[in-house]
Chains A and B, each alone.
Chain A
C-alpha cells in the first residue's frame, strides 16, 4: 500500500455498474514528509475519507474491489483502505 493525500473527488454519473454508489476520490501519493511523489490518481473510498486526509491506498484490484465495495470482481484498481492518525518513525 502507499501513503497518499486526498486532494479532491471526481463526479461521474455515467460509470461501470460496480462503481455505482461509491465515492471516487482524487489522491496524491506522498512521501513520509508529505512531499508529492508521482502523479495523482483516482481511488474508490468506502471510509468517508475527507479532502486533506492522509490515507493508505491499496493499488491491487482484487483487494481494492473487496475493500471498497465488499464485492470482489469489480473493475476497480485502487481503493482507500485506511485514514492515517499518526506515523511514528524511530
Chain B
C-alpha cells in the first residue's frame, strides 16, 4: 500500500455497470516524505475517505476484493484513512 492525499472527487454518469454506486476520488500519491510523487490517480473509496485526507491505497487485482463477490473493475482502491505516520528510523545516517 502507498500513501496519498485525496485531492478531489470525480463524477461519471456513463461508466462500467459494476462501478455504479462507487465513490470515485482523485488522489495524489505521496512519497516517504509526504511530497507529491507520480501522477494523480482515480481511485475507488472503500472506507469513507474525504477530500483533503491522508489515506493509503491498494493496487492491482487485490483492490477489487473489498467489494467481492462483485467484480469491480479497479486497480486503485483507498483501503485506509491515516491517523498518524510514525517515522522512527533515520535511514540516512545509518548505512547497515
Contact = CB atoms under 8 A, between A and B. Distances in A.
Interface of A: 5-19, 24, 26, 28, 30, 33-36, 39-44, 51-52, 61-62, 64-65, 73-78
From DSSP, what is the main secondary structure of chain A's interface residues? mixed
Interface string B43-63: 000111000000010111111
B87 A8 contact: yes
A11 B83 contact: yes
Given A35-B95, A39-B32, A15 B47 contact: yes
B37 interface: yes
Contacts of A44: 1
A46 B56 CA distance: 19
A52 B81 CA distance: 25
